[in-house]
Amino acid sequence: MEIKKLAESLNPIERKVVKVLDNFSSFHDIIKITGLKDIEVMRALQWLQNKNIVKIKEEQKEIVSLEDNGIKYLKYGLPERIFLEALGSPISIADLAKKAKLTSEEIAISLGTLKSKAAIEITKGKEIVMSITGQGRHLLKHGLPEEQFLKEHFPRELISLNEEEKFVLENLRKRKKIVKVGLTKIISAEFTETGKKLAKEKLDEDLIEKLNPALIKSGAWKGKKFRRFDVKINVPQIFAGRKQHYRRFLDEVRQKFIALGFKEMTGPVVETDFWDMDALFMPQFHSARDIHQGYYVKEPKYAKDLPENVVKNVKAAHENGFGTGSKGWGYDFDVKRTHRHILRTQGTACSARMLASKDLKIPGKYYAIARCFRYDVVDATHLSDFFQTEGIVVEEGLNFRHLKGLLRMFAEEFAETYQIKIVPGYYPYTEPSASLYAKHPQLDWIELGGSGIFRPEMVKPLLGREVPVLAWGIGLDRLAMFKLGIKDIRQLFSHDLEFLRNAKVV
């Protein structure tokens, strides 16, 4: 960037720093001279370095600095001075302590130091009496070497100390919290070649820092320059309101179904054995029931609002096939048990309700994104509380060939693939049953869903007659996890706000 533009890009703080940098290079000095806060200077130096105006140097140096007591003594005087001042005439230790208001520790230290400097004399009689010497008076008048030392400007580099000062330092270091010597990072900065040129530029030009209503209104901005911004600079992150990542995915799935001509169907999460399993022609006492181990509700145990005639039909289907040409399961259907409340185990419960509903339209296409529950340990691949995507297509004349066409459409829409495999599967309520595998561009072959044509033993009791019903359920969680870039299924319901705020929007 040309020097002039560069000069125009300096903000007021940078300008202050640039102006003093010729004479003062240490970080500490710059702060003192400019009166800026250390964080301001630090930032300004970094900005300037980013603009290749200065080069920041960092060195490890041994630094002498004052500690708490050192600062205190600098302000109120060393204890030995207070001691000496209190020693007008010979006095006992006890009286002196009272007079000087020193702690016994301070008395002891003062006593030692002053004795070694021959500033006091101790006479032992009935009691110990102290008196000041000539040397003592001299020191009182001209100052103790330790006092001189503390008055120096701190922090200072150890190598800048002369022999005498080093001797005093060693003495003071033996005392509690007066001075310390430590390794410290010393920051300084010097101009680069660009910086040197820049320093010669006129930096006092009146640049507009922030445009404001007053400037706009008065027109005072006319003829003035705005400080140039570094438009490439990184800025702090913001976060705002947004959809939950998995919910966004489900919203899109819903949109897709609507676009494909499907109507939404629903049902309660607290279901009954009836809609959840019996209406699906799953026998009450059969191992097929083991597939869907569920959560039964403690109270109220039984539902009161099942449609009596539909229950009667389903009962007949289980017992003798309900005139569908089926033998049925040939056992006594338990009507009380069918009323038992259970948390919905499968989205197909919604399909059963739809088939029995007076709102059903034939031909009709229906979908549900249903919250379901399974008796499962929650871990990286299992949730006991999850969503199932299910649906039906009800129309005279439909058969397995249409089911295949439908499954292909789903594979294309949801897994973005044209490569599919449709193989025999098993569901208690469909005949035929088929599983859909899709070759996902990245995940390779995945099982995308299960499907089939509802058995007549399921359809007739609910609908009153036999109509082909293509039924399907697609497993979208794996696709969702892939799209969202997550490995642990529990992250679909993540409680990590940082993650939620930064989750990929797909």
**In the window 236-265, what residues touch other proteins (CB under 8 A)?**
239-244, 246-247, 251, 254, 257-264
Please tell me the distance from the alpha carbon of residue 193 to that of residue 210, in angstroms, as a whole number. Answer: 30
Q: Which of 326, 413, 417, 439 is close enough to bind other proteins by CB under 8 A?
A: 326
Nearest 5°: CA angle at 159, between 156 and 164?
A: 90
Nearest to 41 by CA among 23, 50, 29, 57: 29
CB half-sphere exposure, 355, CA atoms < 13 A: 33
Q: Is residue 327 part of the contact set for other proteins (CB under 8 A)?
A: yes
Q: With respect to other proteins, which residue has the nearer C-beta, 95 or 395?
A: 395
Residue 419 touches other proteins, criterion: CB under 8 A: no
**Token pair listed for 269:** 């999460």
Nearer to other proteins, 235 or 497 (CB): 497
Please report how close the Cβ of residue 75 comes to other proteins at its closest, in angstroms.
Answer: 36
Q: How far is the CB of 46 from other proteins (least distance, A)?
A: 23
What are the residues whose beta carbons fall under 8 Å from the beta carbon of 154, sequence distance 6 or more? 64, 65, 66
Q: Which residues neighbour 33 within 8 Å (Cβ) at sequence distance 6 or greater? A: 20, 24
Query: From the CB of 356, what's the least distance to other proteins, in Å?
Result: 18
- Tell me which H or E stretch contains 50: helix 38-50
Q: In degrees rounded to 5, what are phi and psi of residue 341? A: -75, 135
Contact mark string toward other proteins, 330..369, x via CB under 8 A: -----------x-x-----------------x-xxx----
10 contacts 19 by C-beta, under 8 angstroms? no
Q: How far is Cα 341 from Cα 400, in angstroms, rounded to an integer?
A: 34
Nearer to other proteins, 134 or 241 (CB): 241
Q: Which residue lies nearer to other proteins by CB, 162 or 237?
A: 237
Q: Closer CB to other proteins, residue 30 or residue 436?
A: 436
Shortest distance, position 304 Cβ to other proteins, whole Å: 7
| 149 or 262: CB nearest other proteins | 262
502 sits near other proteins (criterion: CB under 8 A): no
Q: Whose Cβ is closer to other proteins: residue 102's or residue 253's?
A: 253
Residue 122, beta-bridge partner list: 130
For other proteins, how many residues bind (rule: CB under 8 A)? 93
Give ∠ CA 347-350-475 in degrees, rounded to 5. Answer: 25
79: contact with other proteins by CB under 8 A:
no
Q: Give the DSSP per-residue string, 164-188.
A: HHHHHHHHHHHSTTSEEEEEEEEEE
Find the binder of other proteins among 375, 379, 416, 419 (CB under 8 A): 375
CA distance 476 to 503: 18
Stretch binding other proteins (CB under 8 A), from 43-51, 219-227, 281-289, 476-484:
281-289
Interatomic CA distance for residues 370 and 267, integer angstroms: 8
Over the range 433-448, which residues count as b (16 or more CB within 10 Å of their CB) and which as e? Answer: bbbbbbbbeeeeebeb
For residue 109, give the nearest of 146, 162, 66 by alpha carbon: 146
Among 288, 334, 417, 478, binds other proteins (CB under 8 A): 288
Question: Residue 375 in contact with residue 384, Cβ under 8 Å?
Answer: yes
In the complex with other proteins, the residue whose CB is nearer, 356 or 411, is 411
Q: Rounded to whole angstroms, what are the CA distances from 327 to 273, 277, 337, 348, 427?
A: 22, 19, 22, 23, 18
Q: Considering only residues 295, 337, 413, 482, which one is a binding residue for other proteins as defined by CB under 8 A?
A: 295
Is 402 a binding residue for other proteins by CB under 8 A? The answer is: yes
Residues between 453 and 492 with contacts to other proteins, criterion CB under 8 A = 453, 455-457, 468, 492
418 binds other proteins (CB under 8 A): no
Q: Does 118 participate in binding other proteins (rule CB under 8 A)? A: no
- Is residue 424 involved in binding other proteins (CB under 8 A)? yes
Q: Which of 324, 346, 388, 451 binds other proteins (CB under 8 A)?
A: 324
Residue 439 CA to residue 251 CA, distance in Å, equals 24
Task: Indicate the residue among 312 and 371 with the shorter CB distance to other proteins.
Answer: 371
Give the residue with the Cβ less far from other proteins, 143 or 363. Answer: 363
Q: Does 385 bind other proteins (CB under 8 A)?
A: yes
Site residues (CB under 8 A) for other proteins, limited to 136-195: none
d(CA 120, CA 84): 8
DSSP strand pairing (364-373 vs 263-264):
parallel
User: At its nearest, how many Å lie between other proteins and the CB of residue 61?
Assistant: 35
**Does 323 engage in binding with other proteins (CB under 8 A)?**
no
Using the contact rule CB under 8 A, the part of the chain among 43-51, 168-176, 199-207, 403-411 near other proteins is 403-411
> Residue 444, interface with other proteins (CB under 8 A)?
no
Q: Is 443 near other proteins (CB under 8 A)? A: no
User: 159, 377, 380, 505: which one contacts other proteins (CB under 8 A)?
Assistant: 377
- For the beta carbon of residue 161, count every other beta carbon within 10 angstroms: 17
How many Å apart are CA 242 and CA 305, to the nearest integer? 40
State the alpha helices, DSSP H only, in 432-476.
456-463
> Does 291 help bind other proteins (rule: CB under 8 A)?
yes
